[in-house]
Amino acid sequence: MAEIPAIRTEALVKRYGRGGTTALKGLDLAVAAGEVFGFLGPNGAGKSTTIRILLDLIRPTSGTVRVLGVDPRSSADLRAKIGYLAGDFVAAGRQTGRELLTYLGSLRGGVPAQRIDQLAAAWDLDLSKRIGSLSKGNRQKLGVLQAFMHRPPLLILDEPTSGLDPFLQQQFVALVQEAAGEGQTVFMSSHVLSEVQQTCDRVGIIRAGSLVAVEHIDDLRKRALHKIEVHFADDVPALDVAGVSDVVIDGKVLRCKLSGDADALVKALARHHVVDLISEEPELEELFFTYYRGEDA
């Protein structure tokens, strides 16, 4: 028997008001249990609307939703199985961080104080301070801790590293990788594509309320462009090689972009005396934005 997806939507539509904006246009989405799924798109594409429907914070106009196998509208127990983090985490300012985490832990079946203390120490967060006195970055740290602390089967993260500095973004990546190693499912919207590259198994790209692509991250990497720079001992003639574009030759230096397999380029270069070769790690960003320029991908 096939395993039940952690998240499934079918023909999901959301309209705001009579004759108003259609935020989702028949969204069909399936996220397997145990995978890390990146949900990508610019502001207004429908990411947050999708997440709010999954959490039953808003209701769809039509279509079906299943989260951990159940309809979120009909299961009071579901929320304890989900860790949710918004991009701008908000909590009552008079509470201390410890009071908030202890309270939320009790709602989720109890979280050991040791677990809370370990996470707070790793994130250099003083839980004795009132939330209202914390900076935006420290409030977001608190949001990260409350989402992960009870090791839920499903994590739903909406722009989770908003307000975090690059070092803490790397700590967040490590936390997601740890959760994935423990078999938790992670559904994550993000604008930070390096974060997506390091954590996700698959990505879905949403544009104007429609899912325009679902790809394995390795397949996207293969299609993303490598930037190549080659230094030769002598001047080099122009190269005509499959998969190579944007060739620029400046005396003994050749710069180009490579898509796909490098074999043909390597064989072409082997005919010359290569002094140095630099290949930059491909970024998904350039490929990602082709979906928003209306190009066929």
What is the percentage of the chain residues whose pLDDT exceeds 90? 54
Comparing 24-28, 52-56, 189-193, the range with the smallest average pLDDT is: 189-193
Of 159, 215, 233, 212, residue with least CA distance to 190: 159
Tokens in use for 98? Answer: 């410890």
Q: Is the pLDDT score of 184 beyond 80?
A: yes
C-beta neighbour count of 121 within 10 angstroms: 10
Distance CA 95, CA 146 (A): 14
- Which pLDDT does position 282 carry in this prediction? 63
Task: Tell me if residue 191 falls in helix, strand or coil.
Answer: coil
| 102-149 pLDDT per residue, tens | 999 988 888 999 999 999 999 999 999 999 999 988 999 999 999 999
Distance CA 255, CA 277 (A): 10
- Which pLDDT does position 297 carry in this prediction? 41
Q: Is the pLDDT score of 295 beyond 60?
A: no
Q: Is the pLDDT score of 166 beyond 90?
A: no
CB 111 within 8 A of CB 101: yes
Q: Note every long-range contact of 246-249, with CB atoms under 8 Å and residues 24 or more positions apart, other chains counting.
A: none
Distance CA 66, CA 56 (A): 11
Average pLDDT of the chain to the nearest whole number: 88
∠ CA(130), CA(131), CA(137), 5° rounding?
A: 130
Rounded average pLDDT over 32-52: 91
CB 71 within 8 A of CB 65: yes
Cα–chain center distance at 160: 9
Comparing 111-115, 121-125, 159-163, 175-179, the range with the smallest average pLDDT is: 159-163
Paired with 228 in beta bridges are 256, 279
Residue recorded with tokens 């939703």? 65
How much helix, strand and coil, in percent to the nearest 5, is found in the chain?
A: 30, 30, 40
Q: Burial of 209 by CB count in 10 Å (0-12 exposed, 13-18 middle, 19+ buried)?
A: buried
Task: Tell me if residue 66 falls in helix, strand or coil.
Answer: strand
| 82-100 pLDDT per residue, tens | 999 987 788 878 899 999 9
pLDDT band at 294 (very low <50, low <70, confident <90, very high): low
- Residue 258 half-sphere exposure toward CB, CA atoms < 13 A: 22
- Which pLDDT does position 58 carry in this prediction? 93
Of 121, 191, 169, residue with least CA distance to 149: 121
